[in-house]
Amino acid sequence: MPEKRIVLGNCGATDPNDIETYLGKGGFKGFIKARDRLKPGDIVDQVKKSGLSGRGGAGFPCGLKWELARNAKAKMKYLICNADEGEVGTFKDRYILSHDPFGLIEGICIAGLAIGARQAYIYLRAEYHFLNDPLCRAIAQVKEKGFLKHLDIQVFEGAGSYVCGEESALMDSIEGKRGEARYRPPYPQARGLWGQPTIINNVETLMNIPHIIANGAAWFSAMGTAKSKGTKVFSVSGDVSKPGVYELEMGSSLKELVMDLAGAVDIKAVQVGGRHGNIIPGHMIDIVLSYETCLGPGAVVVFNSKRDIIDIVHNNMHFLNDESCGKCTPCREGTEVMLEILGRLRGVEGAAGDIDALEDLAQTMALASLCGLGQEAAVPVLDSLKYFRAEYVNRIEQSLFLRSYLGEELSKSKEGER
């Protein structure tokens, strides 16, 4: 399957500083249709029928989320566009925001109509500060055209925390608190920002909305697999000759993406889904990319045979440990202990019980952590233990041998001294 550019269709074809070029390409047709010909309930129905699921990684059905928020009774409802693209190895949202801000704003406009929100926030990652001005200019242009009468859009810049990409921590951050995950239920659709019903959608999810409204739900649901509909934008990086942003239909194989499009040749493993994504070994490269298998936010990092798997996993854990918010015990302490174990393995100082300890910790963190960061922190560890167990066992045996050998040498030299 070749690339199928729907979300990225206008990237490069329109001028991000000039709304006329976007309108010339058929922009805001979806919004005008939604505003003039559809009731809010119909918009939600369309999105529901399309089978669109959240593109931020969790894959929650978008229509269902909207319906819950729409049916919630409250004076004020909020819409948040999550542009805190903190996941390591993703850069698709930056690409979209810098090339097609109008597409996103149109999606936000339609979502606002559908759930009845009057205030929308674009939560922009701190590192994307340079996109703040262009985004605000784009919003002003849309306002001038009269498309924003029902909704106020504000760009809110984060402060550089990874966990603030998690929806509940993100809301805490907007409320001015320390960005930490909240327990659920209540879900944001019932009680979110300032205790009001809130919808939080990823940039890419909202980019799909105008196309669904303009072309109909049936057109959208014809693409993809049984449970994953539409297309997905991938950010490919690592040991490939052509890293970049690629859009493929759901259900394409990983091989197509990394070998045919990105030009990877030597593949030891591919990490799909960012820092807590699955590690796919080279021999399973034919795996299909969809929510049923592995996907996450679409970060694909390729590692060639020169890379050491324990090094990769250690690096992962170093990041997650650094970014853990420190609220719940399993994540705060668990990542630290895992980092210690992996650090020792990396430095050939492993001990016999290390694999068991890693597995025990992984289970506890997955079952008891408060948010996705802790729950999924151990996914790469478990995957690497599943597919590359021999390397771990080898490393521990090396450590044991080295220690006993060095111990003998040491005692010999001591005898010599006597």
Partner 1 sequence: MGNVNVNIDGKKLRVREGVTILEAAEANGIKIPTLCHIKDQVPTGICRVCVVELERSRTLVGSCHTPVSEGMVIHTHSPKVTAVRRVIVELMLTAHTGDCVNDTNAENCVLHNLASDYEVGAPRFNVKVPRFYPAEDSNPYVRRNLSKCILCRKCVRVCASIPGKNILSVGYRGFRSKIVAGFDEALLSEKCRDCGKCIEHCPTGALSAPVKV
Residues that bind partner 1 (CB under 8 A): 161, 178, 183, 185, 321-330, 332-337, 339-341, 343, 353, 357, 360-361, 363-364, 366-370, 375
Q: How far is the CB of 307 from partner 1 (least distance, A)?
A: 24
Nearer to partner 1, 311 or 336 (CB): 336
Q: How far is the CB of 336 from partner 1 (least distance, A)?
A: 4
* CA dihedral for 57, 58, 64, 66, sign (positive or negative): negative
Q: How far is the CB of 387 from partner 1 (least distance, A)?
A: 23
Question: C-alpha angle with apex 231: 229 to 236, nearest 5 degrees?
Answer: 135
User: What phi and psi values does residue 178 have, to the nearest 5 degrees?
Assistant: -65, 130
Q: How far is the CB of 86 from partner 1 (least distance, A)?
A: 14
* Two tokens, residue 89: 């190895």
In a 13 Å sphere around the CA of 216, the CA atoms on its Cβ side amount to 3
Nearer to partner 1, 213 or 342 (CB): 342
* Two tokens, residue 323: 């970014």
Contact 197, 191 (CB under 8 A): yes
Nearer to partner 1, 232 or 327 (CB): 327
Nearer to partner 1, 10 or 173 (CB): 173
Nearer to partner 1, 38 or 357 (CB): 357
Q: How far is the CB of 320 from partner 1 (least distance, A)?
A: 9
* Two tokens, residue 331: 């994540």
Nearer to partner 1, 288 or 337 (CB): 337
Q: How far is the CB of 353 from partner 1 (least distance, A)?
A: 7
DSSP track, 138-158? HHHHHHHTT--SS-EEEEEE-
Contact 410, 304 (CB under 8 A): no
DSSP track, 44-57? HHHHHHHT-B-TTT
A 10 A CB-CB count for 304 gives 15
Nearer to partner 1, 122 or 320 (CB): 320
What is the Cα–Cα distance from 334 to 340, expressed in whole angstroms? Answer: 10
Nearer to partner 1, 249 or 376 (CB): 376
What is the Cα–Cα distance from 285 to 112, expressed in whole angstroms? Answer: 40
Residue 220 DSSP SS3: helix
Q: How far is the CB of 264 from partner 1 (least distance, A)?
A: 33
User: What phi and psi values does residue 181 have, to the nearest 5 degrees?
Assistant: -65, 150
Q: How far is the CB of 235 from partner 1 (least distance, A)?
A: 26
